[in-house]
Chains A and B, each alone.
Chain A
């Protein structure tokens, strides 16, 4: 793809984000789109958010589980950028009005105390460079029609990142078993599913190492203080007004988030029915 088209598609994603609209998948309109093109479109999309006053606060890793990789036909994760308007604190009520077609994922977040500069980064470096880990929810959202995404679509769309909330219990990765720690996910007090850290690339630290190496190759900085959402340890969970989700990580603690309001897709559906 030429640079003009890349810029235009990044702009279209930004406009869709601002106007809460969805787009026809790029992979339908431009079947020749490559993963490299998609990351460049993502860069433009983020550039527009930064121009509007946001700052980069971290990264998210996506496509880390085997079922999702098989579904998308890719055998490595992807990543997106976390920006300052995506942050919610535990205890906040998340406003669905600001999202298009959100779904929740339970994850472990890493907060770095040292820069991680790939290539050559291993999971051991990740543990060394991590200040602490916390349980968290990533609320993914898609600016693509009906989540009809292929890997290039989600990568261009900032890895389908929406917003996120970090739990308040901080854990020292040297005192935890990141691979075997259980993950218990509840919705409105009912058990939804259980899993373990190994769901993410065999161990969440492996996913963070992958990210450091991938960013290193692309020349993208990966700095101390950044938040890294390491990848989903649960299935995608539907959320609606009044729901409360809690995820609890064995040996660490929990993160809860409540939701209010109506998503853009819900509002549109209700208008059509009226």
Chain B
């Protein structure tokens, strides 16, 4: 097969870096509101019927939404195998916690309504809370740690060594800046979940959601600004010691990354990326306005823009570094040395070009079929269909 050589390795690497971002953002935009709704469930639903309304706003779609995460994981495996290997084994216990949330959530949705008991239902409600809040927090903690650098090194065989046992690895993640990032991501998704509930429910749930959404958006905005200042004045970045070969071998040990300087120097080198944080802040401001006075649909739209801006700003700031090591910077994974082969990237690009639009198409169709608010009558009338 010669066809794949039509696209340079450099082009394919940048493309797959961008696609990885697209999938993670799609995950945050769709499953994000599922997680936010889960985290809000015990607080916004005061009666069993109210809780059922809340659950049924995401009932038919959460499963498809979650696939963005599974797809993101699969795409990282296929396009960035070393990133997959280092991050999943390095964040071992954190990954296990996320996994436990992803195991609990599907069964909680499915099983909650199968029995009437109060204990039964309230246990599953808290399971849904766990399944929403814990990953929302941990994803942010992980991003914070990636900005700080993660303590791993690669052997000459490219085995990833991450020192300490599981518990130390988990507590090692809980650094102040990373916790701030966790708070930002949790509040961002709670904001998003609130915006979703405003679209899909009626008062009093929608009214309560406007309140929680406002508080969450304020925390997210303030935390995001604080994190920016922290990056500017308190945290060192990573960069290449000498110009790397964008078409080089996928072996991090063949190039030299060093710790030092500022992440934010990226904004001097590529001024246009400032558009990402601007979208983030603008989105938050508009979301706050929409929560106060907007209709039912505008909060979700602005919330999407805010999330898009905030998540993409992290990636654009770090480019071309993907996962830096603070104990052995030379092992750091970058766009230029951690990808799959040219052929694999090409094949996957080809498949994505066909199937991503198809996915968007049928997902949009499903959302259209399910369009409209979920009311108390909906869940009480047709008992057998609703969760």
Chains A and B are bound partners: no
A residues at B contact (CB < 8 Å): none
